[in-house]
Amino acid sequence: MAARPKARKRKAIAFIAADTSEAKAARDRLIARYGGVTPGKADIVVALGGDGFMLQTLHRFMNTGTPIYGMNCGSVGFLMNEFRATGLRGRLDTALSSVVRPLAMVATDRNGKEHTAFAINEVSLLRQSYQAAKLRIAIDGKVRMEELICDGILVATPAGSTAYNLSAHGPILPIYAPLLAITPISAFRPRTWRGALVPDRVEIRIEMLEAKKRPVNVVADNVEFKSVVDVTIKQELKAQSVIMFDPDHSWDERILSEQFRY
């Protein structure tokens, strides 16, 4: 007599929500339909909110191996799947996973204090006052731009290339491209410089010139440090988060669609 095939174990799902009435109502609705476990016991975490909440969740579960499946209950939702209460388990079974590796940022402020943070989307440097920032840019220890006068600059991963980077007219990068985008924000001099693409293995160092007169803040995703004098950025190969998308709306498809949007 043939043995019966083993029943496939149902994946344990944790539902977490942004601090909005819409996201919380969606969470309660899904828990009532599918049940739910605490995040520490979950095989998959379903995040309900917008892109900002998704970034927070990817940071929270970094290096745990737990994949994050987002459903949009916010305004933008580029990192999210469409919200539907029905058919969730089937969607999770067919979803495609992508690994994202963060940037590791080390910044020194004008008091000599060192700050560290990870950035999944981008590290951005922004002028703090009416004075334009004056920056020096080095790649792997070699100065590539002696002086850039601008409102700021950002270093974006492929995952973040469609966010702030795109708004600053930076290039869109396919998710698995081994590149980082360096994009100026309102460059004044040299006015024609549009930024650069660099291999993701390099170390980028940005030094603030005339830092006292022209104070600059640095932001790694949603973590900000004020009055920095130099910032070092490189990809952290030992850290990773896992994000899941429906196969008919994968990250690759989103990036292609964004590039042909008009």
Predicted pLDDT at 181: 97
225 and 127, same structural domain?
yes
- Residue 190 covered by a domain: yes
| Beta bridge pairs of residue 62 | none
- Residue 1 covered by a domain: no
151 labelled binding-site residue: yes
Strands of the sheet containing 67-72, edge to edge, are 13-17, 44-49, 67-72, 241-245, 96-100
218 and 131, same structural domain?
yes
128 and 61, same structural domain?
no
Task: Look up 93 and say whether it is catalytic.
Answer: no
**How many beta carbons lie within 10 A of that of residue 171, not counting itself?**
17
34 labelled binding-site residue: no
Q: What is the pLDDT along the chain (262 residues), one digit of tens a residue?
A: 455 555 457 889 999 999 999 999 999 999 999 999 999 999 999 999 998 999 999 999 999 999 999 999 977 678 899 999 999 999 999 999 989 899 999 999 999 999 999 999 999 999 999 999 999 999 999 999 999 999 999 999 998 998 899 999 999 998 788 999 999 999 999 988 999 999 999 999 999 999 999 999 999 998 999 999 999 999 999 999 999 999 887 667 777 777 777 6
- Residue 255 covered by a domain: yes
166 labelled binding-site residue: yes
- Residue 5 covered by a domain: no
122 labelled binding-site residue: yes
CATH code, domain with 156: 2.60.200.30
- Residue 229 covered by a domain: yes
The SS3 assignment for 19 reads: coil
86 labelled binding-site residue: no
Contact (Cβ atoms closer than 8 angstroms) between residue 96 and residue 247: yes
Alpha-carbon distances, residue 143 vs 17, 148, 206, 240 (angstroms):
44, 12, 9, 30
255 and 151, same structural domain?
no
- Residue 248 covered by a domain: yes
107 and 60, same structural domain?
no
227 and 171, same structural domain?
yes
What b-and-e string marks burial along 180-217, b requiring 16 or more CB atoms within 10 Å of the CB? Answer: bbbbbbebeeeeeeebbebebeeebbbbbbebeebbbb
96 and 111, same structural domain?
no
The SS3 assignment for 165 reads: helix
Alpha-carbon distances, residue 237 vs 54, 59, 99, 122, 145 (angstroms):
21, 15, 11, 16, 26
Structural domain span for residue 202:
103-235
CATH code, domain with 43: 3.40.50.10330
Predicted pLDDT at 34: 95
247 and 153, same structural domain?
no
Alpha-carbon distances, residue 163 vs 3, 49, 197 (angstroms):
52, 17, 16
223 and 107, same structural domain?
yes
- Residue 120 covered by a domain: yes
- Residue 2 covered by a domain: no
88 labelled binding-site residue: no
164 labelled binding-site residue: yes
Predicted pLDDT at 119: 97
* 51, 109, 221, 230: the active-site residue: 51
51 labelled binding-site residue: yes
108 labelled binding-site residue: no
93 and 211, same structural domain?
no
Indicate the pTM of the whole model. 0.85
Selection from 97, 90, 98 nearest residue 8 by Cα? 90
172 and 133, same structural domain?
yes
How many domains is the chain built from?
A: 2
84 and 32, same structural domain?
yes
**Cα 95 from Cα 243, distance rounded (Å):** 10
248 labelled binding-site residue: no
**Cα 171 from Cα 125, distance rounded (Å):** 18
Predicted pLDDT at 8: 59
What b-and-e string marks burial along 154-165, b requiring 16 or more CB atoms within 10 Å of the CB? Answer: bbbbbbbbbbbb
